[in-house]
């Protein structure tokens, strides 16, 4: 499967283009989270790989026995591809990856040197909120919420785009007012009262 085909499949899943396929993905994800909540993730992965390989081992040997017993015809062995990704296909994403890495490095340095009060405050708030939610729900709980959001938010926004945009505009306006108030206090002159306030006294 090419990268473009994989991206298209993911988009089709989260937007429920094929309801049966998306429902199957949701059920499989919920089952995986349920199992991981009871056993170690590493244990779950190792047991899953072991079980899958063991079943395929038994199936291939049973099929070989049936062929020798002339109970069924032999099938040609599958052809294992030597390349899963073409070099030209990966090359198309190199510029995007380079730009993303440079942008992340530039943003990190900008935050460390506090070039933008707005960016620093937003990052502090986002990290604090994420850390607080993770403290309450744990890592698995945060990943579970992200999983549910991936299969509900895109489709919900597609169905209720007008209402969601209106609510987001109101929330953005309130956040802008709060942000302006905080920045005003941070940029206020220090070391004494404002001259206008002194005149009033």
For residue 198, what pLDDT is reported?
47
- pTM of the prediction? 0.58
Mean pLDDT over residues 55-80, rounded?
88
Which residues, including other chains, have CB under 8 Å from residue 35's CB and lie 6 or more apart? 44
175 domain-assigned: yes
> How many beta carbons lie within 10 A of that of residue 94, not counting itself?
9
For residue 196, what pLDDT is reported?
54
For residue 194, what pLDDT is reported?
53
For residue 190, what pLDDT is reported?
55
123 domain-assigned: yes
For residue 57, what pLDDT is reported?
95
- Domain holding 162, by residue range, is 116-187
100 domain-assigned: no
111 domain-assigned: no
Structural domains of the chain, count? 1
98 domain-assigned: no
For 29-62, write each residue's pLDDT tens digit: 998 888 888 888 888 889 889 999 999 999 999 9
Give the residue, 83 or 124, on which the prediction is more confident: 124
The answer to whether 30 touches 37, Cβ cutoff 8 Å, is no
Taking Cα atoms as reference points, which of 172, 186, 6 lies closest to residue 85?
A: 6
How much of the chain, in percent, has pLDDT values that exceed 90? Answer: 22
Which of 6-35 are b and which e, b meaning 16 or more Cβ less than 10 Å from the residue's Cβ?
A: eeeeeeebbebeeeeebeebbeebeeeeee
181 domain-assigned: yes
Decide if pLDDT at 171 tops 60: yes
d(CA 111, CA 185): 20
For residue 187, what pLDDT is reported?
66
Mean pLDDT over residues 69-80, rounded?
83
Segment among 81-85, 110-114, 169-173 with least mean pLDDT = 81-85
The encoded tokens of residue 2 equal 């090419």
131 domain-assigned: yes
Decide if pLDDT at 27 tops 90: yes
């Amino acid at each position: 499967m090419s990268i473009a085909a994989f991206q298209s499949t993911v988009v089709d899943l989260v937007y429920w283009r094929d309801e049966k396929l998306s429902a199957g993905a949701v059920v499989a994800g919920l089952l995986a989270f349920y199992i991981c909540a009871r056993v170690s993730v590493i244990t779950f992965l190792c047991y899953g790989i072991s079980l899958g390989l063991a079943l395929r081992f038994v199936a291939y040997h049973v099929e070989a026995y049936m062929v020798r017993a002339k109970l069924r015809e032999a099938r040609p062995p599958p052809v294992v591809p030597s390349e899963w990704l073409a070099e030209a296909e990966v090359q198309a994403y190199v510029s995007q990856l380079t730009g993303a890495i440079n942008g992340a490095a530039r943003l990190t340095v900008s935050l460390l040197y506090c070039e933008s009060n707005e960016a620093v405050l937003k990052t502090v708030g986002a990290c604090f909120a994420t850390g607080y939610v993770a403290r309450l729900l744990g890592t698995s709980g945060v990943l579970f919420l992200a999983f549910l959001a991936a299969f509900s938010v895109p489709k919900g926004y597609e169905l209720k785009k007008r209402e969601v945009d209106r609510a987001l505009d109101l929330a953005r306006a309130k956040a802008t007012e709060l942000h302006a108030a905080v920045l005003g206090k941070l940029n206020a002159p220090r070391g004494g009262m404002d001259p206008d306030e002194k005149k009033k006294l």
